[in-house]
Amino acid sequence: MEIKTAVRQFIAENVLLGIHQTTIEDTTPLVSGGLIDSIGMIGLVNFLETRFKVEFVPREIDVHSLNTLDQIDELIRKKLASQGTGAAGSSQQTR
Amino acid sequence: MPYAPAIVEQDRVGEDRVTSFRELFEQAASLAVRFVEHGIQKQDRIALVLPKTTDAIVSIFASLLAGAVYVPIHPRWPRERIETTLADCAARLVIEGDENSPLRITDRKTRASIPWTAALANPADTAVANSLPRADAGDPALILFTSGSTGRPKGVVLSHRAVSAFVKWSAREFQISSRDRIACPSPLSFDLSTFDIFNMALCGAACVLVPGHSVWMPRFLVQFVRKARITCWYSVPSILAGMLEEGRMAQDDYLGLRVILFAGEVFRAQDVARLQAAVPQAVCANLYGPTETNVVTWYRVPQGFDGSQPLPIGQPCPYATVTTDATSGELLAGGDSLMSGYWNRPEDTQRAFVNVEGKRYYRTGDRVSRAPDGNYLFLGRLDRQVKRRGFRIELGEIETVLAGREDILEAAAVAVDDAKMGAVIVAFVRTRSAGAVSLIEAKAHCARTLPLYMVPDHIVFLDAIPKGSRGKIDYIALSRIAETLDQAMPNQSSPKHAATNHAANDAAPNNVAPNNAAPNNVAPDNGDQDRSPAVHR
């Protein structure tokens, strides 16, 4: 699965009013660039948890560590890898 | 008592860092002594550009012990806004630092620094404290910067008398004691935090700092309240609503929670009813008052409140006097909790106050009515100020910032009510040429100057901003367009919109549909620049 594509799509639909022709680069700052704020972050985290079956702990939801597609991609990959080794049992409920 | 916990802070791995009253006093007094030795005078401003940490609370008490004025500035504000604010209040010292950089105290004029951790020669005692200057009740204690309609934040100056009027009343009314654990969920730059910090000091309660990253994550917040054994909670309604909605607060037990206070924005009556049902043993109260007056009226939610009627803002606190302007219905608030004025803005200060029968009142800008039982009801604003998650926003400030960008010729901002988000801000801009500014560029421009909560949710590019017959921006027409956009949004974080704008769909032109809301194609293509796209009567 292509993490960046999914996140790009989510942001285009939820943040950019469906304006797909506006490009979000892998390094476009999402938070410090004003695209996502605290509430938007809740939506994004919910989306990531549901879509990729991962679970976040509070410390990871620092707006500055989820600031770009690159960072999100890296974090999700790391989480999936640790789940693959059975480190995290996903008992997460989806809404 | 001296060893009882004063401040509880979670460190990065989730362990509690507890600071006792004795440690708090020693650290604050020793820092205050260093301030005075450095030459800090009474009423000098000490800016705290700090996250909400134990060190920040120590800095607050140190500033006050030195007779100085603390100016809390949110460290996540854009650098430019921080610098403007530091210059505006002419801060003598700046205290900065976060988890990634150590604390530093800098004199803004000389660039000299004061060490944060200077070992105490002698443990601070009452003799040390007595040698420090003592502020008078009327002296300023803190300055809180809030959105200003002309594009520059305004500093609200609050005296020791103003803060203590509210804190002492709340301590009495809600019977705060050393057995309490008061959460501190608000940023220090928000007046709600005075309840948490100063009730700790006044009543010997523990002040438990809510980690900044948890505040908007309802799931974690709900766990936090339970684990930290919070007994008193005071926040904006949005945070509580999030806990009810996303945190499944109703399914858990919060037997320790005995006081829940909220202020800063309208709390939907049905959510209040749900909150009371979820935490039936707690006293819930709606506190009302702008930053300029702190809390002036309050309403205790009656048992069995069913949420079918809006929640009143209630009746005046004992230290406050409240009246209304007979013509406009504007609430006027006076009494001990009133601000001294806006920092360095005599004209704004003069405009903010009005004299009624020889007494000074602050014009709240809030329209109210009075129910037969004497309770005040909030009806709406007289101006263009909006509340978003309790944060106060002047739409004019957003417009000024947008219009300040190259290639943006004109900007207008409106707010749309949204059940979940409180208010969604939609900005309309006219650019020099189609595509001259991209949406991302426009948002990034806002984020460089405005705090994140002020960055518009949506920015719509128009060929012409709708104007009325006198050339004034037609905000009503813009609001209709904004409502249509907001309703059509597939926003994950706000699945349902309360806004039932029947008029919106027929009022807005059919070419404002969100799926073709690409830059510069939303205006009517009839070339009539003066005509509002929303007015097809």
User: What CATH number does the domain containing A35 carry?
Assistant: 1.10.1200.10
Q: Is B204 left (phi over 0), alpha (psi -120 to 50) or beta?
A: left
Residue B109 CA to residue B398 CA, distance in Å, equals 31
Q: What is the pLDDT of residues A32-57, one digit of tens each?
A: 888 887 778 878 888 999 999 998 88
Q: Round to whole Å and give the CA distance between A57 and B520.
A: 42
- Asked whether residue B429 is domain-assigned, the answer is yes
Given a cut of 70, is residue B492 above it in pLDDT? no
Residue B9 has pLDDT above 70, yes or no: yes
Nearest CA in chain B to A61: B213
Structure tokens at A8: 């790009």
Q: How many domains does chain B have?
A: 1
Compare CB distances from B452 to A16, A34, A45 and report the shortest one's residue. A34
**Tens digits of per-residue pLDDT, B330-379?**
999 999 999 999 999 999 999 999 999 999 999 999 999 999 999 999 99
Tell me, yes or no, whether A94 lies in a domain: no
Chain A residues close to B247, C-beta within 8 Å? none
Q: What is the DSSP string of B325-363?
A: -TTT-EEEEEETT---EETT-HHHHHHHEEEETTEEEEE
Q: A70 CA to chain B: closest CA distance, Å?
A: 17
* Cross-chain CB nearest to A34 (options B214, B455, B490): B455
B493–A14: do the CB atoms touch at under 8 Å? yes
Predicted pLDDT at B149: 79
Instruction: Select from A16, A58, A61 the Cβ nearest to the Cβ of B439.
Output: A16
Nearest CA of chain B to the CA of A8: how many Å? 13
| 8 Å CB contact between B460 and B526 | no
Q: What is the pLDDT of residue B22?
A: 94
**CB-based contact A32 B447, cutoff 8 Å:** yes
Measured between CA atoms, the residue of chain B closest to residue A58 is B214
Give the confidence band of B493 by pLDDT, cuts at 50, 70, 90: very low
Compute the nearest-CA separation of B373 from chain A (Å). Answer: 38
The CATH number that applies at residue B422 is 3.30.300.30
For residue B497, pLDDT beyond 60: no
Tell me, what DSSP letter sits at residue B310?
A: P
Tell me, yes or no, whether A78 lies in a domain: yes
Q: Is residue B391 part of a domain?
A: yes
Which of B448, B458, B493 is opposite residue A39, by nearest beta carbon? B493
Q: Which residues of B touch A47 (CB under 8 A)?
A: 492
For residue A93, tell me if it sits in a domain. Answer: no
Average pLDDT over all residues of chain B:
86
Please indicate, yes or no, if residue A50 is contained in any of the structural domains: yes
On chain A, the residues whose CB falls within 8 A of the CB of B460 are: 17
Domain that holds residue B502: 386-516
From B243's Cα to the closest Cα of chain A, the distance in A is 12
C-alpha B94/C-alpha B59 separation (Å) is: 11
CB B157 within 8 A of CB B342: yes
| Domain-embedded: residue A52 | yes
Q: B-chain residues within 8 Å CB-CB of A38? A: 215-216, 389, 452-453
Could you report the per-residue pLDDT of B428-480, keeping only the tens digit for each? 999 999 889 988 889 989 998 898 889 998 899 999 999 988 889 999 999 99
User: Under an 8 A CB cutoff, do A22 and B438 touch?
Assistant: yes
Q: Do the domain assignments include residue A89?
A: no
Contact A33 B440 (CB under 8 A): yes
Domain count, chain A: 1
Residue A26 sits in which domain range? 3-84
Kindly determine whether residue B444 and residue A33, on different chains, have CB atoms separated by under 8 Å: yes
d(CA A89, CA A83) in angstroms, rounded, equals 7
Nearest residue in B to A47, CA atom = B492
Q: How far is B338 from chain A (nearest CA, A)?
A: 31
With cut-offs at 50, 70 and 90, classify the pLDDT of residue B176.
Answer: very high
Per-residue pLDDT of B281-305, as tens digits, reads 999 999 999 999 999 999 999 999 9
| Residue corresponding to tokens 């949710």 | B457
Asked whether residue A56 is assigned to any structural domain, the reply reads yes
Q: Which pLDDT score, from 0 to 100, does residue A19 have? A: 57
Q: What is the pLDDT of residues B396-434, one digit of tens each?
A: 999 999 999 999 999 999 999 876 667 899 999 999 998
pLDDT band at B10 (very low <50, low <70, confident <90, very high): confident
- pLDDT at residue B505 greater than cutoff 70: no
Burial of B181 (0-12, 13-18, 19+ CB in 10 A): buried
Q: What is the mean pLDDT of chain A?
A: 78
Over the stretch B15-55, which tens digit does the pLDDT of each residue have? 899 999 999 999 999 999 999 999 999 999 999 999 999 99
Residue B123's pLDDT band (boundaries 50, 70, 90)?
A: low
pTM: 0.84
- Please give the average per-residue pLDDT across A7-26, as a whole number: 73
Question: What is the rounded CA–CA span in Å between residue B274 and residue B130?
Answer: 50
Nearest to B98 by CA among B84, B82, B80: B82
Distance between CA B448 and CA A32 in Å, rounded?
Answer: 8
Q: How confident is the model at residue A21 (pLDDT cuts 50, 70, 90)?
A: low
Separation in Å, CA B268 to CA B9, B217, B225, B301, B311: 31, 20, 22, 13, 8
